[in-house]
Structure 1
Amino acid sequence: MSSPAPGPLLLLDGASLWFRAFYAIPEKITAPSGQPVNALRGFTDMVAALITRHSPSRLVVCLDLNWRPQFRVELVPSYKAHRLDESAGADPGAEEVPDNLTPQVDMILEVLEAAGIATAGAQGLEADDVIGTLATRESTDEVVVVSGDRDLLQLVRDDPQPPVRVFYVGRGLAKAELFGPAEVSAKYGVPQDNAGPAYADMATLRGDASDGLPGVAGIGDKSAATLITRFGTLEALVAAVADPDSELAQGIRKKLTAAQAYLEAAAPVVRVVRDAEVTLSRPDLLPTAPADPDRLQTLATTYNTESPIKRLITALETNTASATR
């Protein structure tokens, strides 16, 4: 009887998941110390559920070492500016984060370390860039990216490289959607053979208020997708705008001409970095048992997370994919 095939490389957008856990579970759930642990419990349960669902052989929780990288701010100063913490005494450039979430991030990292689950970051860059780099350089296993950030749809791909899929959890795990090139094409109207890069180009045109990207005035989802489908890439569209002989409606040409400086700046802001210097906390092979079970049990008791941590341990022990490596 043949062994089961190795499972995928699962790349988790850490902050995206623990923010969602924080808002999904009441803060009244606390540790014996009185400290809220809603994000910790919810995040731990999500990791256990994702392991059970996707049976990965490898897993990395990707971190923001800089949530608002300087190169993006220099190109588009409004990038994430609305998320800056402007409260008295806040560090310059700090993100506005709920007071009861910040301590739980350290708790989450403690649990991941004791469980033996790898984390990864890149100096000066966002988790998106870590994910983009790890997904791009993967040459062995299928990649499944888990995030509530639609920008990561730009990473989807099929063969000849191992495929990359995005498990979009923006509406919660129960309503999560798995996207490949076909699904991105069907939902957003971009060409399937170039769906990932085309999505990034469409997003640049359309803009994204959640990231402080204004987009081109008067260009929405449908018109952005139509333009990228017609011209193939944002670069080709910009070249057509500059060519007086190109077949562009006068109104569209006027809008794009007015936004030329924005488009040149925003394209590298929207596109994730794919060649970052990523540092992993440990090898990404998903263990079949906790790396430090005694420490994990202590954390479970200290933080009132016995049930979620038990579910995580069960998910590790019953995940046959990692055992094939």
Structure 2
Amino acid sequence: MVPRLTLNHLTVLSALAETRGVTATAARLGLTQSAVSHRLREAERRVGARLVRRVDGAMTLTPEGERVRALADRFLDELVRLEQELAADRDGARRLVRLGQATYSRYHWLPAFLEFTERSAPDLSVDLSARAASRPFAALVEGSVDVSTVYGRPSALPRFRWRKLATDPLIGVVAPGHRLAKAAHLDSRLIEDERYYTYPLSAEPGFEWEALIGAPSVPFRRITQMPTPEAVIDLVRAGFGVGIFSRWAVQPELSDGTLIEKPLGAEGMALDWWAVTRASDPPGGPADRLAEALVEWGRRDEVGLATLGFEGEAR
């Protein structure tokens, strides 16, 4: 049976989901606006369902369109990966390994790690995938990433292999001029009436912070969810409220003094971070070697995770 949708249709739907506009989609793909509109109409005609709609001036996908887009993203990722791997096999080039990171799209640590891998595994080429930010385990299963860094506790699922990276404090952050800047620590009673900015965490069950550290003793009354951790950092840095982060994620702002950290509770809290791979990946393969490189890098204080605020030594 031949699919009714082609690669052209999938590419347009994937791009439209991110750009939310025909003009921006056309610019990204190097097409005319009329070509994009034609492909969208043709895709809807071929599957017999509405795939896009206009909401508040923006183009969004319908539930049916989201289903097609999810498949399109996985397919396109796998196709690009296969093309790169075939080229590497043919030319003797580096082996591509895709790295993902749960929750945070902050990579101030990456240059130091890439320098380390250049020395320890020069035949590996590291690429980043944003898919793991919200669904690190699904991204591994789908194959859109090969190694995901995640926080929490190892699961009993046999399909994954876990390697401990380090333990990192979970901290509250405020601007230097905030009324809580001189507090010894933060807890739910102190910030129950503060504007508390939060951001999307893992969408996968069991890896939300509340599941890992417990519900606050006093419910937060003024919660504002922002689309990204970076948006929270900007607002908190400007003095508009309080945020909670893994310390390494806000290390640049702590270092330059634009944010002040506070322990959560009198004794503080911490989360373990892990490098997770598929158990089915071969020992000594590219994913296995990249995960081991992360662990080894984390043990080296001069270039490793200790420079980002991690406590203790990876083990």
What TM bracket, shorter-length normalisation? under 0.3
- Structure holding more helix per residue: 1
TM-score when scaled to structure 2? Answer: 0.23
* Bigger relative contact order, structure 1 or 2 (CA pairs below 8 A, ≥6 apart): 1
TM-score when scaled to structure 1? Answer: 0.22
